[in-house]
Chain A
Amino acid sequence: MDFDALRMIWLRDLIRHFRDRVRLLGSITRPVLWLLIMGTGLRAAFNVHGISYTHFIFPGIIAMNLIFAAMQSTISIIWDREFGFLREILVAPIPRSSIVLGKALSGSTVAFIEGLFVLAFAPFIKIHIPWVNLFLLLPLMFLIAFVCTSLGIAIAARMTSFEGFGVISNFVIMPMFFLSGAIFPVDNLPHWINFIVRLNPLTYGVDLLRWFALGIKIFALYIDFLFLAIFSFIMLGVGVFEFSKRS
């Protein structure tokens, strides 16, 4: 592993991210809309697991910010290809695996920070998370961000246009978010939809978040972690394969 390369790619993406203030704005307004409007609006209609709807979707909204930010961060790969910077990286004497891992870490960092914005809302909607769980939530959020970024990289590494990436990522993000248990419980769904839910890595991420934030869960802890680990491993593998290809 090439730590210089990792650091370069990570640092560059972070500098670029924080120079772009508009993006930060979106990452704050998105969860506010969901928690305030959807949470309040659907409170009367929903009563799941004996808790209020706003509380129920809270871990889901953390997951939403994580997956949106993570996928968005991988657009930088297409951006770099389009504006030539990718060649500067590809002719450098650094292993392709370090390029991919650097991208995965920078995307996860950005997404993690955007997830923190949501976590900060907990006291305002009267969710009281024990300190221990709060500290466990942090690495967990990073892990989920990492899984989502790996998926984004595997997609972006194959795409050549912004439009294409937009279409594909929307096609992926939306169903992943809806069918993850983020906004409705997934333990009592028809068979065909349950199949998709079980293949969705975000399902296991949301399950873990909900466990640490609210003490509710569906799967065993080891299943959650195992699925997330295997999924991101495969996606990073696809990313490294795509980056190593010389046409």
Chain B
Amino acid sequence: MNEIAVRVKNLSKHFEQVLAVDNISFEVERAEIFGFLGPNGAGKTTTINILCTLLMPTCGEAIVNGFNVITSPNEVRKSIGIIFQDPSLDERLTAYENLNFHGMIYHLPSTARKGRIEEVLNMVGLYSKRDCIVRTFSGGMKRRLEIARGLMHKPKILFLDEPTIGLDPQTRQYIWDYILNLSQREKITIFLTTHYMDEAEICQRVGIIDHGKIVALDTPRALKNKYATSSLNDVFLEITGRDIREEESDSKERLSRFLRSRRLR
């Protein structure tokens, strides 16, 4: 097995007029915790979506776990787990059903599935809630269930797109302890995006992306040394400036989506 989990080379992605990802290259080593930082709309989620085979790159190459995302998407899909930025649970189903269905489409045999569901539900402290409909869960509980689901099929690489956004400090702490423990014990590669600088500090290396370009990539310590500051926050502001950015998906679309979902309930 090679020691590179993710290799991205001259990757670009155009959306109609917008250049979301602009010729980026980087590598993530196996069992590394790699953080992707950047202001809103910098291209973080687009990059993750390309790496997990949801989007096609416009040009360039991305190899995940030794497989090309363009030519062997199914092999890539088998070896990754992903926790999306926006919720992706079926809220009409119970926690157990969500996990059971996940196990089915990742081809876990039914006996192994049962054991694994119990295991991951205990890990995220939701075992007692297994037969509750997900719609009744709090935001933190849903997030924990999504993390349980992403880990169920024992992926070699786990992508986390802003995993702790909107969570209380207790849940954040819990999730982080869990992720750190996991990466040490199971040698899982963790690729995450975050806005929280304290979370970025935990990463072994961070890449800072802005306007679709990688503008810095190093260990948190090296970055702080380079910019002669004691906090990663200052490094971030130094590199990306102090302007406030547009939301990633256009806010009007968000609003209409919100209204639509209200009307349907």
Residues of A in contact with B (beta carbons under 8 Å apart)? 4-5, 7-8, 11-12, 15-16, 19, 82-85, 87-95, 161-162, 246-247
- Known: A91-B77, A246-B56, A247-B56. Contact between A4 and B87, CB under 8 A? no
Give chain A residues whose Cβ lies under 8 Å from the Cβ of B105: 4-5, 8, 89, 92-94
Give chain A residues whose Cβ lies under 8 Å from the Cβ of B73: 246
**Would you call B56 and A87 a contact (CB within 8 A)?**
no
Q: Can you list, as one digit per residue, whether each of B13-57 has a CB less than 8 Å from chain A (1) or not (0)?
A: 000000000000000000000000000000000000000111110
Give chain A residues whose Cβ lies under 8 Å from the Cβ of B74: 93, 95
B112 an interface residue at 8 Å Cβ cutoff? no
Give chain A residues whose Cβ lies under 8 Å from the Cβ of B87: 83-84
Sample (26) of A-B pairs whose CB atoms are under 8 Å apart: A4-B105, A4-B107, A5-B104, A8-B101, A8-B105, A11-B101, A12-B93, A12-B101, A16-B92, A16-B93, A84-B84, A84-B87, A84-B88, A85-B88, A85-B89, A87-B88, A88-B149, A91-B52, A92-B105, A93-B78, A93-B107, A95-B74, A161-B260, A246-B53, A246-B56, A246-B73
Give chain B residues whose Cβ lies under 8 Å from the Cβ of A90: 53-54
Give chain B residues whose Cβ lies under 8 Å from the Cβ of A83: 87-88, 91, 261
Give chain B residues whose Cβ lies under 8 Å from the Cβ of A19: 92
Give chain A residues whose Cβ lies under 8 Å from the Cβ of B56: 246-247
Task: Report the minimal beta-carbon distance from A130 to chain B, rounded to whole angstroms.
Answer: 41
Q: Can you list, as one digit per residue, whether each of B84-112 has a CB less than 8 Å from chain A (1) or not (0)?
A: 10111111110001000110111100000
B55, B74, B90, B93 — which one has the most chain A CB atoms within 10 A of its CB? B90
Q: Complex: how many Å from CA A212 to CA B22?
A: 63
Q: Complex: how many Å from CA A84 to CA B106?
A: 18
Task: Report the minimal beta-carbon distance from A243 to chain B, rounded to whole angstroms.
Answer: 12
**Would you call A84 and B77 a contact (CB within 8 A)?**
no
Task: Report the minimal beta-carbon distance from A161 to chain B, rounded to whole angstroms.
Answer: 8
B82 an interface residue at 8 Å Cβ cutoff? yes
- Known: A19-B92, A85-B90. Contact between A93 and B55, CB under 8 A? no
**Which A residue sits closest to B57, measured CB to CB?**
A246
- Known: A87-B54, A91-B52, A246-B54. Contact between A15 and B97, CB under 8 A? yes
**Would you call B106 and A93 a contact (CB within 8 A)?**
yes
B82, B84, B91, B101 — which one has the most chain A CB atoms within 10 A of its CB? B101
B75, B105, B149 — which one has the most chain A CB atoms within 10 A of its CB? B105
Give chain B residues whose Cβ lies under 8 Å from the Cβ of A8: 101, 104-105
Give chain A residues whose Cβ lies under 8 Å from the Cβ of B84: 84, 87
Task: Report the minimal beta-carbon distance from B22 to chain A, rounded to whole angstroms.
Answer: 18
Q: Complex: how many Å from CA A16 to CA B90?
A: 10
**Which B residue sits closest to A163, measured CB to CB?**
B260
B226 an interface residue at 8 Å Cβ cutoff? no
**Which B residue sits closest to A162, measured CB to CB?**
B260
Q: Complex: how many Å from CA A91 to CA B261?
A: 24
Give chain B residues whose Cβ lies under 8 Å from the Cβ of A246: 53-56, 73
Task: Report the minimal beta-carbon distance from B120 to chain A, rounded to whole angstroms.
Answer: 15
Contact partner, B88, options A12, A88, A94, Cβ 8 Å: A88
A84, A88, A89, A246 — which one has the most chain B CB atoms within 10 A of its CB? A88
Q: Complex: how many Å from CA A19 to CA B91?
A: 12
Known: A15-B97, A93-B105, A162-B260. 12 other contacts (CB 8 A): A5-B105, A83-B261, A84-B88, A87-B54, A88-B88, A88-B89, A88-B90, A90-B53, A91-B82, A93-B78, A93-B106, A94-B105
**Would you call B92 and A162 a contact (CB within 8 A)?**
no
Q: Complex: how many Å from CA A75 to CA B107?
A: 27
**Those 7 A-B pairs whose CB atoms lie nearest each other, nearest first:** A84-B88, A93-B77, A8-B104, A92-B105, A93-B78, A246-B56, A88-B88
Give chain A residues whose Cβ lies under 8 Å from the Cβ of B52: 91
A83, A84, A89, A93 — which one has the most chain B CB atoms within 10 A of its CB? A93
Give chain A residues whose Cβ lies under 8 Å from the Cβ of B93: 12, 15-16
Contact partner, A82, options B97, B106, B261, Cβ 8 Å: B261
Task: Report the minimal beta-carbon distance from A247 to chain B, rounded to whole angstroms.
Answer: 6
A82, A84, A91 — which one has the most chain B CB atoms within 10 A of its CB? A91
Task: Report the minimal beta-carbon distance from A166 to chain B, rounded to whole angstroms.
Answer: 12
Task: Report the minimal beta-carbon distance from B153 to chain A, rounded to whole angstroms.
Answer: 9
Give chain B residues whose Cβ lies under 8 Å from the Cβ of A12: 90, 93, 97, 101
- Known: A162-B260, A246-B54, A246-B56. Contact between A4 and B104, CB under 8 A? yes
Q: Complex: how many Å from CA A193 to CA B74?
A: 47
